Amino acid sequence: MDHFNYRGGSLHAEDVPLTEIVRAVGTPVYVYSTATLERHYRVFEAALDGMPHLICYAMKANSNLAVLKVMARLGAGMDVVSGGEYRRAKAAGVPGGKIVFSGVGKTREEMQLALQGGIRQFNVESLPELEALSAVANSMSMVAPVTIRVNPDVDAKTHAKISTGKSENKFGIPIAQARSAYAAAAALPGLEVVGIDVHIGSQLTDLAPYESAFFKVADLTGVLRADGHDIRRLDLGGGLGIPYRRANDVPPLPFDYGEVVQRTVGHLGCEIEIEPGRLIAGNAGILVARVIYVKEGAGRRFVILDAAMNDLVRPAMYDAWHDIVPLTEPAPGIEMADVDIVGPVCETGDTFARGRAMPPLAADDLVAFRSAGAYGAVMASEYNSRPLIPEVLVSGDQFAVVRARPDYDEMLNRDTIPAWLE
């Protein structure tokens, strides 16, 4: 469920007509709904009710400070994967004790930053990382709380580029090597083992891979406790999918996910950490674009937008589907026609949809890409020297620009011409 609906024939974000935002900000523009962000967080809270838990929002999905502030006010922790994300979480008011640091390539500088600023735990992904973290913590006379991310070799049946739990993926330590890895952690100075971490992928639409992975974690918990390790937290990752194609997609609900967690690891007495990102932010955001031209090709009709692959890369990178709807509600029974929806970038890959059935569109019409709140603005670039597009947050009948569109001078002034070329 989201809060982007037609009212009186015009698409609204909560109580704000999107045309009002377009008049104020222009296009393309990302628009986020506070009510949707809050609802999705609370759905996860309800799903884990009765179990000690912390929901750590995976901020790589959408790291705008205003979005993070919404999450922080709800009591969420944060899952960060870089020093920059750590700084964003702290800037949004999230205490260090609620920040989990994940990722395969943490630098010593990032470790030091997190230890100085406070950290709930490091999710460690390799023996060299364990050794580096031990050295950093020991040099600071501090103790770093750690979980070790185990790779359970479970196929999440998701897109190959976002699968993380198979043996050939770069993430984690093979679960067969977990006992020796935990023994190494216990022997290193400056580390405190607090739990186990697992994450098998993103956009999962089937609960069976979760169940398989979590049962393996439950077995491992017993083995590690028998070895003398104090396993008191289980970080189960994120990855639950969202319905990108509303007419076809029916992913599992957080309540069903919570039942799997309870059934597989609920008896262990551990605090449960989960790291949803896409499910919280994805359907809480849309991308609004304007039609520049409608072009007749050889047997194809192209709808050319002012948004491009540099603004929303998911279709080009993952062949991802986004529902695309006009801001003016089509009349009932209107005739649809197949069109290719493309952007202005000089790449054939700058294509959002091929052969998509759409109502009639003309130059200056406005359209919205649904489910664009996750992995949209955060993955944007200035390819073709196109400025990053603004982000807007809506709350009820209010809206505010939470990241402004830079002008061309701002973009050009980030470059420096060396003296010998003057």
Nearest to 249 by CA among 282, 289, 276, 201: 282
**Catalytic-role residue among 160, 226, 331, 346:** 346
The string of pLDDT tens digits covering residues 162-220 is 444 444 555 689 999 999 999 999 999 999 999 999 998 888 888 999 999 999 999 99
Q: Find the range with the poorest average confidence among 46-55, 148-157, 265-274, 278-287.
A: 148-157
Lookup result for tokens 């949707």: 36
Count of helix runs (H) and strand runs (E) in the chain: 12, 21
Is pLDDT at 395 greater than 80 in this prediction?
Answer: yes
Where in 48-190 does DSSP place strands (E)?
Answer: 53-58, 77-80, 99-101, 121-124, 144-151, 173-174
Other C-beta atoms closer than 10 Å to the C-beta of 263 total: 13
Angle at 99 between CA 95 and CA 105, to 5 degrees: 140
The CATH class, in words, for 4-31+282-412 is: mainly beta
Task: Identify the pLDDT of residue 170.
Answer: 57
Closest to 279 in 3D by CA, of 203, 355, 363, 190 = 203
Cβ atoms < 10 Å from Cβ of 62: 29
| pLDDT of res. 164 | 45
CA 63 to CA 71: how far, in whole Å? 11
Rounded to an integer, the average pLDDT of 57-66 is 98
> 33-279: what CATH class?
alpha beta
The pTM of the whole model exceeds 0.85: yes
Per-domain residue ranges for the chain? Answer: 4-31+282-412, 33-279
Q: Which amino acid is at 386?
A: R
- 56 noted as active-site residue: no
* Average pLDDT of the residues in 368-390: 97
Categorize the per-residue pLDDT at 159 as very low, low, confident or very high, splitting at 50, 70 and 90: very low
Interval 93-115 mean pLDDT: 97
Helix (H, G, I), strand (E, B) or coil at 287: strand
pLDDT (tens digit per residue) in 235-291: 999 989 988 887 666 788 999 999 999 999 999 999 999 999 999 999 999 999 999
Residue 161 predicted with pLDDT over 50: no
Residue 160 pLDDT greater than 90, yes or no? no
- Mean pLDDT on 336-346: 96
